[in-house]
Amino acid sequence: MSELAVDVHGLVKRFGNKIAVNGVDIQLPSGQVWGFLGPNGSGKTTTIRMICGLLNIDAGEGQCLGYDISRHARDIRRLTGYMTQKFSFWNELSIRENLDFVARLYQLPQRRQRVDNTLEKLGLSQRQKQLAGELSGGWKQRLALAAVTMHQPKLLLLDEPTAGVDPQARRDFWDEIHHLSRAGLTVLVSTHYMDEAERCDRIVYLAHGNLITQGTVAQIIADAKLFTYKAHDDGVRFAIEKLKAQPAVAHAAYFGAALHVSGYEQAALLAAIQTVTSNISWQQVDPSLEDVFIALMNKAGNDQRAYQ
């Protein structure tokens, strides 16, 4: 399927005189899973809300599932499942009552059956009478995902669905997303986790409301034209400030116990790290997605400062 589930151009959203989203284009083909990344406050949530008609757009236009986003929000909502960043089901309602309420609003046929199945799949049949507000954070997220997919939407908009979820549950969550995607669902999911980004077909990266880059993980890494060196030695800990001060070093960041140092010009970078830490052995590695994002974030940050 090559038609676009989301096709928006030049989306702009202002809050007062602050621009939250500044001309974002997204062309998301049906059936794909796209990751939406960017630092806090970069406009991910705002963009998602505009796509499903929860915020009026200030400029731009677009379609979602073939409906105009500013005029046919109701049709879009009927076919979309939107999982909010903050848990937004009703704490005073039990798990079952929440699901039942959603099923009633979407007027699903065989409601009882549907709710039963959903509870079964979630593994919450035993606890269905428990209040949603009493669930742990991770379970709330699972309940929310189940609730927003119950009406079998064509498009899933997930806003940081795995924040605060344990590693195993995160994997299960993503297995479920891929499972849904294989069944034809289109997914746009925002996240701060690199391993999750790597499981997406494509990535869209925002910073300060601007779309900085997009593409597959490999493309984005290649496009960044970054060189990265890695060292394990204990001595690097004392050298990190000096390394950062070098103009050729774009950034230095820890990955577990190892330090990664990245720059845009290989020769200058190598020269810099060898003068600062002559007795430490460095090893060139492929830049990881996170190296690239740190570099992008720094660049975007500089841009922002340059404008003011």
Handedness of CA 93, 98, 100, 105 (dihedral sign): positive
> x/- string (CB under 8 A) for another protein, residues 95-114?
--x---xx-xxxx-------
Token match 């597959």: residue? 216
Per rule CB under 8 A, is residue 86 in the interface with another protein?
Answer: yes
Pick the closer one to Mg ion by CB: 44 or 170: 44
191 binds ligand ATP (CB under 6 A): no
User: Does 2 participate in binding another protein (rule CB under 8 A)?
Assistant: no
56 lines the binding site for ligand ATP (CB under 6 A): no
Render the burial of 188-225: b for 16+ CB within 10 Å, e for the rest. bbbbebbebbebbebbbbbbbbbbbbbeebeebbeebe
Task: Please report, as residue ranges, which positions from 153 to 182 form the binding site for ligand ATP (by CB under 6 A).
Answer: none
The answer to whether residue 190 forms part of the interface with another protein (CB under 8 A) is no
Residue 254's binding partner out of ligand ATP, Mg ion, another protein, none, with CB under 5 to 8 Å set by partner kind: none
Considering only 82, 139, 205, 227, the residue that binds another protein (CB under 8 A) is 82
Q: Is 90 in the site for ligand ATP (CB under 6 A)?
A: no
Among 44, 114, 142, 202, interactor with ligand ATP by CB under 6 A: 44
Binding at 20: pick from Mg ion, ligand ATP, another protein, none (beta carbon under 5-8 Å per type): ligand ATP
Residue 27 binds Mg ion, judged by CB under 5 A: no
Least gap, CB of 295 to ligand ATP (angstroms):
19
Number of residues that bind another protein (CB under 8 A): 29
Which C-beta is closer to Mg ion: that of 45 or that of 98?
45
Taking the complex as a whole, how short is the minimal distance between the CB of residue 55 and another protein, in angstroms?
A: 6
Read off the tokens for 165.
């979820």
Residue 12 lies near another protein (rule: CB under 8 A):
no
**Between 105 and 257, CB nearer to another protein:** 105
Q: Does residue 155 belong to the site contacting another protein (CB under 8 A)?
A: no
Q: Which is nearer to ligand ATP, 45 or 288 (CB)?
A: 45
Stretch binding ligand ATP (CB under 6 A), from 39-47, 60-68, 76-84, 168-176: 39-47
The full 3-state SS of the chain, as one line of letters, equals: CCCEEEEEEEEEEEECCEEEEEEEEEEEECCCEEEEECCCCCCHHHHHHHHCCCCCCCEEEEEECCEECCCCHHHHHHHEEEECCCCCCCCCCEHHHHHHHHHHHCCCCCHHHHHHHHHHHHCCHHHCCCEHHHCCHHHHHHHHHHHHHCCCCCEEEEECCCCCCCHHHHHHHHHHHHHHHHCCCEEEEECCCHHHHCCCCEEEEEECCEEEEEECHHHHHHHHCCEEEEECCCCHHHHHHHHHHCCCCCEEEEECCEEEEEECCHHHHHHHHHHHCCCCCCEEECCCHHHHHHHHHHHHHHHHHHHC
Binding status of residue 255 toward ligand ATP by CB under 6 A: no
80 binds another protein per the rule CB under 8 A: yes
- Report the interface residues with Mg ion, using CB under 5 A: 44-45, 85
